[in-house]
Structure 1
Amino acid sequence: MRLDTAKQQFNRSEQLKLIFSLVLLTILLLPSTGAVKRFLVDKGFVATHLSNKEKALQLASSLITLPHSYLTAKTDLPLIKVDIKYQDWLKLEEDRRSAFERGIIPENRSQVSGVIYFGKEKYAAKVRLQGDMLDHVNKADRWSLKVELKKKQAMFGSRKFALVAPSVRVNQGPNLFAKSLDVSGFDIISPKNIPVKLVVNGADWGVMLFEQAFSQDLLAVNNRTEGLITRLDLLSETTNSHGEVTRTLKPRVLQQKTILANQALANQRQIALALLDDFLTGKRPASDVFDAARLGQYLAMVDLWGAWHALTWNNWRWYYNPHIAKLEPIQSDVAVTPAAHIWLMKPPSHRFALSKAMLADDVVNAHYLAAKEQLLSSLETKLIPALESYDITFIKSLHLDSPLITPFNYHVMKQQATCWQNNYQSSECSQFSDVSRELHKQMDNYKAKANWDLYSRLNEQNGKLVWQVTNTEEQPLIINSIEGITKQQEISPLEKINDELPVSIAPGESLALTLPSRLKAISARVALKGKGNETFFFQKGTAPLAFIPRGGMNPFDSAKYAHFITQSQNKWEFKVGEWEINDYLVTPANTEVVIPQGTTLKFARNAGLMVFGTFYSKGTLSAPVIMTRQQNTSKWSGLSVFAKEQNTAHQIDHLYISYASSPKLGLWQPRGAIYFVKGNVNMRSVQITDNQSEDGLNIINADINIYDLTIKNALSDAFDCDFCTGVLDTSQFTNIGFRSGGDGIDVSGSTLTVRHAKFKNVRDKAISAGEQSQLVVSDTHFDDVNFGLVAKDNSLIEAHHVRASNIQHKALMSYSKKRIFGPAIMRVTDYFCSDSDCNIKQTAELGSQLLVNGLAIQSEALDVKDLYNTVMKSDKPK
């Protein structure tokens, strides 16, 4: 089948005349009202009023502006070509035919092989039909296609994406909603929607939207730590005699097989699904399950746009943030429309069952009201002007094939905002109604059914280890095999037990299996009848929510610690002296913790300190604050600090920390021994030595101002800073990563200035900048390191006065590890390397750039995968 585009037979003027004529002929001659409607919708027409007269006037106006829209359309759009073999194409056609018969695209649909051409690149891919409703496939072409690129290749930062006609998403609607979030400073994950030209098997499908899928790629490019995305499935539905609809919902994660194959993500899955189940069953308030600030902001924006479609049970998507163990909303199928009769409605968040339950939480509601006030106060001065400008520019990218698209009328947004502000009390607003059931069959009540593994436990009972399996599913549950894991991480095949497998457990039934008591965990291959096996992990004595980071999770026994902690309202102040701590201490929410100069805290193995609020270490040069292990143990469980707000300021002076490990608290297991999440982290003269965890110092989503940081004898990475902004001045990193795989400074999605840094004996990279980071590095010296300065994944490093010696592999490198980000750039001036073979110790991958002392280093093909399987291979502790 053809891959090239047929030669144009008409020039632009002739095409314009043809389109104009076709529009008129279609309206006049087509016998089917539905056919006319579909044609106009495909060309971008959206009726903004209900009356036929107003529709006719609007269409006439659109036809008058059509020539200008077409002639000024943006034509230099990215071109994507899709080639699918004939026999495979027939499978997609069969799925489409089946969709028309059923009234919905079948859930089990064919996924076929294809080839994608983009620019000069060729990608192997898997392709299937996208969507559920018939609007995805009801045109002769321009069907919605779901694409998954193979071999970890990526386009526009995504390996998984959909190609959809703009009309399916109400044209510019999703982009306007995302722009509103951005302009308002609401950090809500939003998929990209990029206009592209699409050619399928040689046929020109015109302008389509490249729509980013809900995947790890979406999280990465939105500056989120690797995590997972959750949603709800419908198990059953009932309607009572009053017409009230009750639905039974089941939480699940997207890409479950991928998630279960990664132990850290598998643990996160259990926490995330258990949190959602607790919310749905009313066991846990919304603010304890969701990121209350982001949720409140999202709901407020939904109400401003009348975006009711985003609130239906099947359109919710949540990202699980592994640092704070909470879920945050993702923009999903908002379907905002310029149609005033739909847009102008009372707040849909107050009508839909799930969002009503969220807003019933006082904390979420407070954030909602704050976001509402912010939107109303900035509407005419900031938000609407930005949207008007963006709207006009963006739709030019769609006009080539959808010339009837017009900008939104933002007077309607002003009406919505005015009525929202005065609670619909004026006569103008009294006509506004709630979301009509004609738009959507809403649910009045909901129930939840949890996944089987959340109700199954591995516990000691009467001196025996018992795996109690409860089948909460609708189908039989089949246990096919079990592997044991000992405390020493040894694998036990459990041959005698497996000889009795597989065994089937009927829905609603339970089974108890007795296992060897030496095991601390098991992994089990389990399947629902008719589906494939999946591997589930169970840790002895650990329920999914055995521990999650929450202030005041357990009541604080002030009397027990009164001899060294003075507790007052919202404040803990440690007393000067040397104290032994045998418990893991967790503060209440919004607590100020102060450790005065000259104080030494010695912790037992499973003891540590978790602060929710503000942390102050008031050490001095002559009387520092010391936090270390007790004499009879090898390590302790570290310091974790969670700021309430982004502007919460911590001040850490002359703090010496040694032998700290990250806390192992249930399934929530952070990487850092010293762990700060959010806030302003100000450090002066901090020493971290002999840490026993993956990261010595781990800072997330914070502004930093660090002076005189020393990290020595780090088991793995020394300083990991994700999504940080600020300055690191005067630091030393010595003997880093002796377990192997340790970086001195490892940053992702960060903008940092690094000055006066010294690196000695680093087993991996001295400085590693990844995932769109921007670093300014000056007055830095690397000595005895595997790799010196490394820029990767669309990062930029500007470095000056860099000295390198005893470099084992490469002193300077620029490359792409994660293809979703693309190439990197490094520019180094006043660079000197004392090694005799320095000229071969600087490398740039094809596509990336490396400039050294004004000279461009010639790029070369680089096997990055092999690099990370050999000299950069990590062996980080578990």
Structure 2
Amino acid sequence: MKKMFKNKEVSDALERASSPVRWIWSRLPEALLGLFCIVVIIFSILTYFPAISKFASKLASGNKYTATLEGLLNPFRNRGVLLESGLPVYELKIRSQEYAKLDAIARESVKKGWMSDDLKVWADGQFFYNGKKYNVKVRLRGDLPNHWKNPKKSYRIRFGNQMVEEDGKKVKAQIPFEGGERQINLIIPQDREYILAHYVNSLMREGGLVSPRDRMVILRINGVLQGVYYEVEHFDKPLLAYHKRPETTIFGQNDRVMHFEQYTDLGIPATSDARFDIGSQRRLVEREGVLAMNAFQVLIDHSLKPTEENFKRVREVLNWEKYLRFRNMTTLCNTNHVRFGSDNLRLYYDPSLGLLEPVPWDVHLVRLPKEPGTIDFWNEKGPDEIQRATLENPWLRFERNKLLWEMVADGGKTMMQKFDAIYEPIRPVFWADVLSTPNQAYKLDIVRKNLQYNLARVHKVMSHSSANFTYKLESHDRVALELASLNFCGTKLQEIQISDTLFTLEGEYRLYEDSNNNGKLDKEDALLQTTVAQDGAIRLTFDRYIFPEVKYTGAPIENVYWEYYDTMSGRVRMFLTGKLAPVLRSPLNWVPPTIEVAAMNAVSGFPMPSMFISQTDATPAQCTGITAFDASAPFDLEAPNYTREQFLAKHPQFSPSQERPGAVELKGKVTIAETVIIPKNVPLVIQPGTDLTLKPRVVLLSYGGLYSIGTAEKPIKIHGDGSGEPYNAVAVIRPTDRKVIVKHTEFRDGDQAHINGILFTGGFAVHGGDLELTDSKFIDMQSEDCLNLKYGHILMENVLFENSGADQVDLDFCTGIVRNCTFRKSGFNGDGLDVSGARDLVISGCTFENLTDKGISVGENSHPVIVNCLFIGNDIGVAPKDLSHPRVANSTFIGNRLAIGAYRKKPMFGGSSGEFVNCVFSGNEEMIEEDYFSKGKIKVYSSVSDKPIPGQIEQATAIEFAGAERNGYLLAPLFGQRFAAELAYPEWLPEEFKPQALAAPGIFPNIPVRREIAQ
């Protein structure tokens, strides 16, 4: 059995490997050898028949490790698949002396690390194909070691002269190859990404480019099968004759100093970037005259000095469409291997047209990164100056994209079909190749997968279609329009239509472009069109392209540093003038008109239907997202920095304060018809008895603080003008000394405001200050909150809130005291007191009555103490939410739909909890409601209820009250005394309430308190 192997080392190795287990079966080595022989015979059979090979080649090639292991059997493959593949089979015979010459050159080149010009020596040989014999010269080709350091090498073959018979005489004549080629290159396929070069050339040939003729062939040298080769004709006159083009110059860069061609002894490029020697080039085919050199010099000039003028000249000497088609192919392959200034760019000069055009050569394939949303990447050297100028010019980039879309519009299916027409029959041949590395079919599969991915990626990026359209109402007769294109290809705007069911659009409208891009309508802005509203609608028609801005940048992506042109949004800004909205309106309550935008992807033509989205929403893919808002609220960032003198000069209704130096004041009957901003360090004083009328939409905003201190005899009144239209707000923002004091002041008719980028939801609002509010009233307020305090300390006592539009008081992230106040009759979904993020807040002695939502809403991790409060006739008495934990003592709940509700409202928080001690519950429809996240976290103890609370109050008790008013809802004295012994006094209850809290459950008479703000 051993004699079957020429190499005895195989049998010896198997014998040694089996020695530890030979005791099991003494003939085990022979059995293993026999099994190995059977495997070899089966494998040889599999590679004999092409049909079987096609199937067998896919059995183990799905994984690179199994493909490599299986490829180790290469020496045992049968040659039948290669010879019966249908590919041309070339026979090359070289005498031993001549072959030794090539072998010596290969060894010397390996020592150097590159093949220098002095080693490019020709050997004599004979070439056989199709029954013909040719005398040829043969040399090794390729500058890099991968072409000649392995058993399978790359060759250049030159067809020479031979004796032929002419008129009965033997004469010497040049005999080209069968297609007229004088030189052909036989290149190892892996250097040309297997079939990629052949595929690219076929596509470019279809596009009218001068592409070398090429094909896959089988080569034998002196009878020894070398395997599969990529044959491509050399740059020569027959190439041009085949394409019916004038026989002139093909330029190749760079032969004298060239990246990849001149190497140091260490194998490192002597020149890192060919652009430094970009003037050196070799002319292939034959030398051409001044015309070709002049045209080529234009490209060199632009590369060395890239200017707009030089780039115009470049486009005059380049066949621009063919250049773009070639560049699109390199974009799809994601390669920079053929940039201008590299050693692989070939340019053909056509003197009949006076134009240079690219010749496809050595295009590589690199998988595109997944992000960002662009297709123009470089992993070395970056774009050449022609590419850079093309991509940075919006219209040239658009032209490039249109041609590129033609190639991938179907998702790359057509291009993959053309690739597969080459791939399918050749794959088993690569699998059976004998002198190549073991996993050639697997590597070919990777090429296919990367090409397929790149085509799909480019299609996805180019087909993405989205835009933002913003409708910004700046005044009743002017709106700013902006379309932002958010896709790679850009957006074509076709029509904007505006209609309004709540307001009649009529008359003439003018559309201007923001020509100077300053965001303001001024005399420099060009008039685009004029139209008249018809049937209550404004129609604006366009044929306008909005291209993205591009930014050249770089970043590590998937562990590789890439440079790329990132696509940023492109914008067009316009102004529309005419009758667009009511003169009097609330910006926060404004209802936008119906807006329809007709637009499409500028390249693919895919429509981008429009839809309204909120300002915080991301624009959905494949559509135009519309946002509309009223931006007519004041925005004056200079006013807060006025001096007092500048302010008084602008607002004569105000006067210097006599009692507070540096302040301004209002007194008597005052009407303010426009928004007023009081500057920093200038407090506002409102004198007792002042009657302040604020016209609709007016905002009174103070940066310096507020002292509105009336008396019982001379209260201060702040209200609207009686028209039914509310003023917007009285607001204080970041007061100088943090203190705001309001006493004996009545607020009516307030709404909410948006000014200087700040949203005030309270008709009276204090942001970033401390508020002392006593003996005051808030009646008929229409705002989201009658009073809103943010980030401050509060002392609020004896204040009435009644007939509010929504919530009555909103305390956001506040501390302090709220006591002896009344909250009554709220509008739709209106709370009495809404607290968020509150700590160290005590609410006592308050009444919450007939509120459509909650008496007290406790949210966002608030922990208030609530004592001696009456909740009567509300939808919900107390509702903790979102990790809040109110502690409630001696409070009475009467006639509410739900006494206590506990919920998680915002997922970022959790459920809620609470303690209710010494309380009274009577006539409530439901006692406790807890959601899934708050289940079992509400604790009620030492309390009395007319309904049982399972697990907490087991026995219902008929409640006896003293009377009907607030103090009438005290428990009847004898009734309350029955429960005194069962009352608790929790440690969190302030000491001042102890005597009353332990007398009886439920509310008790209010106790006197100090009238000053607690710091």
Is the TM value for this pair above 0.5?
A: no
Structure-2-length-normalised TM-score: 0.36
TM-score (normalizing by structure 1): 0.41
| Structure ranking higher on relative contact order (CA contacts 8 Å, 6+ apart) | 1
